[in-house]
């Protein structure tokens, strides 16, 4: 089979055909898909009915799996999936819907804010692979925004102003935006802010992008309100229609996105009434974007 990639949006998103992701992938095809991810930012694969193990195995063509620890408020004993998978569903370990006021549900609503996965980690994630196992009857689309195009469209003064800025990211900040502020001491420790560059350069394409995420709560050396004002403005620009692709899910879809170059968010659906089973593998990044210091 020969891999073919069709562009789905003016700026990004490739739909990949000619590959069965459940079969072993050759080294050449693995390299081709990594380069495609650099170029397209988002890759869509259809009709890939994975088992969890098949998804984990395929994911490794992109790098090392980032373990799903320290990124949510679900206790280890309550996990539904292996620690190599992030549970993006609305289900508990017995497959029942999380209750309306369940703390885990409240926390997971944070996925409705634009973000880059694991930007709250010292080494932020490279990419995410999200497999659709069941869909909601309406809503629950996922939107993606392409940051190199958003960067290119900034005026020269703004580009110069943000070039060297360093931001702080934390799950405390993104959840705080929804009014979720009741964290246990252990969680506050685990979710301590980390530093990230605001402008990143893709090593393969050489393109710059704005490294935005709702996890951002401050800019080093700036007053909080002025930092949040700038971030809000950049967010509004970067998620405006020209830079956004919306994916409507079918069971068996696999979408891979580059967290170094894209943000994403899930749109509203009736998550307290209907199951939506999405399983994510995450590939770890390889380097910090800036040195950390306290
Ligand atoms: C994710 C996420 C989007 C969705 O998997 O990282 O933010 O569609 N979820 O559930
Ligand atoms: Mn996410």
pLDDT digits (tens, 9 = 90+) for 28-75: 999 999 999 999 999 999 999 999 999 999 999 999 999 999 999 999
- Structural domain including 51 reads 4-283
In a domain, 144, yes or no: yes
In a domain, 185, yes or no: yes
In a domain, 291, yes or no: no
pLDDT of residue 294: 57
Which among 104, 82, 86, 111 is positioned nearest to 272, based on CA atoms? 104
Which atom of ligand 1 is closest in space to residue 86's alpha carbon?
Answer: 5
User: How many domains, the chain?
Assistant: 1
**Following CA atoms 64, 70, 74, 76 in sequence, which dihedral angle do they give, to the nearest 10 degrees?**
70
- C-alpha distances in angstroms, 70 versus 66, 192, 290? 11, 11, 21
| CATH (domain of 16) | 3.60.130.10
pLDDT of residue 153: 98
pLDDT of residue 225: 98
In a domain, 232, yes or no: yes
Are 244 and 40 within 8 A, CB to CB? no
14-17 vs 4-7, strand pairing mode: antiparallel
pLDDT at 254 over 60: yes
- For ligand 2, the distance from its centroid to the CA atom of residue 1, given in whole angstroms, is 31
Regarding the beta carbon of 239 and ligand 1, being less than 6 Å apart is answered no
Which atom of ligand 1 is closest in space to residue 264's alpha carbon?
Answer: 7
In a domain, 290, yes or no: no
pTM, two decimal places: 0.98
């Amino acid at each position: 089979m020969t891999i073919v990639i069709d562009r789905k949006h003016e700026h990004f998103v490739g739909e990949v055909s000619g590959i069965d992701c459940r079969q072993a992938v050759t080294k050449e095809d693995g390299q081709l898909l990594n380069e495609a991810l650099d170029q397209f930012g988002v890759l869509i694969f259809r009709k890939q009915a994975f088992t969890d193990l098949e998804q984990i195995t395929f994911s490794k063509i992109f790098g090392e799996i980032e373990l799903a620890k320290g990124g949510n408020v679900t206790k280890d004993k309550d996990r539904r999936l292996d620690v190599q998978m992030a549970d993006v569903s609305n289900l508990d370990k017995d497959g029942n819907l999380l209750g309306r006021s369940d703390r885990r549900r409240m926390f997971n609503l944070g996925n409705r804010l634009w973000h880059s996965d694991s930007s709250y980690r010292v080494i932020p994630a490279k990419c995410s692979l999200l497999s659709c196992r069941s869909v909601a009857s309406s809503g629950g689309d996922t939107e993606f925004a392409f940051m190199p195009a958003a960067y290119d469209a900034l005026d020269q003064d703004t580009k110069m102003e943000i070039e060297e800025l360093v931001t702080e990211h934390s799950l405390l900040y993104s959840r705080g935006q929804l009014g979720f502020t009741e964290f246990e001491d252990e969680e506050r420790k685990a979710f301590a802010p980390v530093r990230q560059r605001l402008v990143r350069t893709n090593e393969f394409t050489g393109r710059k992008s704005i490294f935005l995420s709702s996890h951002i709560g401050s800019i080093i050396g700036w007053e909080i309100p002025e930092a949040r004002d700038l971030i809000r403005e950049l967010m509004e620009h970067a998620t405006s229609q020209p830079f956004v692709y919306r994916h409507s899910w079918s069971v068996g879809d696999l979408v891979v996105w580059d967290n170094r170059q894209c943000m994403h968010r899930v749109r509203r659906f009736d998550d307290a009434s209907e199951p939506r089973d999405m399983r994510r593998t995450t590939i770890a990044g390889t380097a910090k974007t800036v040195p950390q210091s306290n």
